[in-house]
Amino acid sequence: MGKYHWYVLALCGWANASDAVEMLAISFVLPAAENEFGLTSSHMGWLTAIIFVGLLIGGWCWGYLSDQYGRRTALYCSLLANALFGLLSSFSVNFEMLLLLRFLSGIGVKYT
């Protein structure tokens, strides 16, 4: 194992950790979002499920892009999308914006 292999291992570990954080983060956000945005149980269900809709679409998109441009480029772009939309979702001002940004963050999660 050389330096390159350790780099790839660290990058894939970071990608895997970001997946886990995206899945678990909503459980911490839901109580605060319920109070802040006045969410119903239906809204909370959508907020929980929307990341998986993003995962479904992201799997197809990132697979296609990795075949066209290479796996490294697709991995970097998916991590960037996940980080960017995850960060932006923390600044959401209403339910619809939070739902959209969590969906887009879910698209970024899927590559790993």
Cβ-in-10-Å burial (0-12, 13-18, 19+) of 19 comes to: middle
pTM for the whole thing? Answer: 0.84
Cα separation, 104 vs 82, whole angstroms: 8
pLDDT in tens, 16-58: 887 788 778 888 888 888 888 989 999 999 999 999 999 899 9
